Amino acid sequence: MKIRTQPNLLSLSLLLAGLALVPASHAASKPYSPFSVSVSRISTGDADIGDSNLQLQRDTWLFGAKASIPLNREWSMSMSASYDKLDYDWGTRGGSLFGNGVTTWPSVDRYSASIGVSYRPNKQWMFLFAPKIQYAYADGTSSSNAQSYGVVASGMYRFENGNMLGLGVAYLNDISEVRTVPYLAVSWQVTENLKLSNPFSAGFSGPAGLELSYQLTDDVDVGIGTSKRTQRFLVKDDETTMEIDEWVSFLRAGWTATSSLSFNGYAGYYFNGELELSDPNSSEQIDNQMALAFAAEYKF
């Protein structure tokens, strides 16, 4: 299960390779600097991999830092950096991937950074532009061959009632593949306590997803959401990549412990998963599996 956050929308690398971190929305107000750090832990259940006789269980640690700096009334800047450690346990039954002897990998290191710029020409419109870079590579390969880069852009319209709706697109030059990911950008207060918003960051891990959350008290909220998640990383230094593509649905409970510290717990379910090798082009289905995640964020 995976989680995380991005400069133009909220993010969480959830359950899967991805869950992105969802901050609680009604923290008590206090002046603090625009810097924050986060840590998340995601664990999945065992999943059978196609006809390979292999079983996969994943554990992920995600560490992130971000900052948001207003420049003037119209412009602001954001910066973020993260490091993720993805551990893969292939069980003890033996077997090989795709039936051609492809070697499994014990872990993946993933580093990413982004600088975002937002522009508000008036009270109604907000535009976001965020270049991104990422390195993702399996144990035994070189980081110098694992670079990906891209840009995420979106435009959102603010209605008189304060709700915001827009469209975004991520253009990603990933390892050995170029792809374009459109997504819906939304922050919509349905009722006083009910809100529809994006739980994840749009980017290399996929679109921003949708979450419907309910504010139980000033300090506690719950949510339900879903999104498609993607992990792509280098497995051989000749630009041979592995991609894990899957959907995740989740239940979330959030607690704002203080005006600076918040926690979120997740119960998730991965489904329609696929493992794909770039060369030779091969794929295996991943069985559905449960996942659990925990995330903490501290705002200075």
- 240-297 confidence digits (pLDDT tens): 999 999 999 999 999 999 999 999 999 999 999 999 999 888 899 999 999 999 999 9
Burial of 12 (0-12, 13-18, 19+ CB in 10 A): buried
Confidence of residue 238 (pLDDT cuts 50, 70, 90): confident
Tell me the pTM. Answer: 0.86
- 179-224 confidence digits (pLDDT tens): 999 999 999 999 999 999 999 989 999 999 999 999 999 999 999 9
Contact 5, 21 (CB under 8 A): yes
Per-residue pLDDT, 252:
98
Phi, psi of 143 (to 5 degrees): -65, -25
Per-residue pLDDT, 101:
62
Contact 84, 13 (CB under 8 A): yes
Taking phi first (over 0 means left), then psi (-120 to 50 degrees means alpha), and beta for anything else, what does residue 216 get?
A: alpha
Query: Domains in the chain, ordered, with CATH?
Result: 35-299 (2.40.160.60)
Quick check: 11 pLDDT over 90? no
Q: What is the mean pLDDT of residues 68-90?
A: 96
